[in-house]
Amino acid sequence: MALAIAAFALFSYFGSKQFNPVLQEDQYIGITPQQEIALGLQAAPEMAAEFGGLHPDQQAQAFLDEVCRGLIANSDAGDAEWPYECSLLVDDQTINAFALPGGQVFLTLGLYNELQTEGQLAGVLAHEIGHAVARHSAQQIAREQLTQGLTGAAVIAAYDPQNPNSMATSQIALVVGQLLTMRYSREHELEADRLGVRFMAQAGYDPRALIEVMRILAATGEQGPPEFFSTHPNPENRITAIEEAIAEEFPNGVPDGLIQ
């Protein structure tokens, strides 16, 4: 039974390969684009409500829309053809931004108030748009389905009703599965940073503003768990990755005249 479960999980995962034209690479995707869009639209009201709902400040929202539309219209992000929407949330205590499947992007007022320039706002939005373009939610669904299948098979194979100690092996398998999933999430964050640099540069923004965003997050964040046990890389490590992405995007140095 354990072998059958593992074989089905592997077959389902490796049979879900799709080509991403923006990334120019194959991905293992757990749902279709239509399902992804529907999932994001369905989840958007509930997610917004968790942060106090949409902010009534029409001027701030209009500015957010302007930067969001500029990024999409002037970068490869527009080639993904997601129904992008960037929204400002009421919560002024939480410093956060996130993207739902299909291009629904949210930014809390707490983070918005910390940003000092248009370029920094563009950096946050470009990063979140990068998550949507790379279809990280759909990849995560496929990855979790694979992990659950394999860890479930390991639990069945390891557990012996006559030997209570075998439960420890089963629990270890589950923990390893969770760590694999979290590691995948950290890789997504770094890829979204690289895509954010790319989209910012294409839209005329200075990608170094994204480094300033990381410093803001580092200054406002509380002491968290070790990076290996966290779904997000440390801001210091992300800065290094962003600097490498900027050097790759601009091998001769960042030109003058970009929006900061």
CA angle 7, 21, 243 (to 5 degrees): 100
Active site residue 128: yes
Annotated catalytic residue within 25, 46, 128, 236: 128
Q: Is 28 helix (H, G, I), strand (E, B) or coil?
A: strand
Q: Is 232 helix (H, G, I), strand (E, B) or coil?
A: coil
Nearest to 86 by CA among 52, 111, 51, 62: 62
Nearest to 98 by CA among 219, 231, 228: 231
Is the dihedral angle over the CA atoms 155, 159, 164, 169 positive or is it negative? negative
Beta strands in 90-242 (DSSP E): 97-100, 104-108
Per DSSP, 71 falls in state H
Q: Is 106 helix (H, G, I), strand (E, B) or coil?
A: strand
Residues marked as catalytic: 128
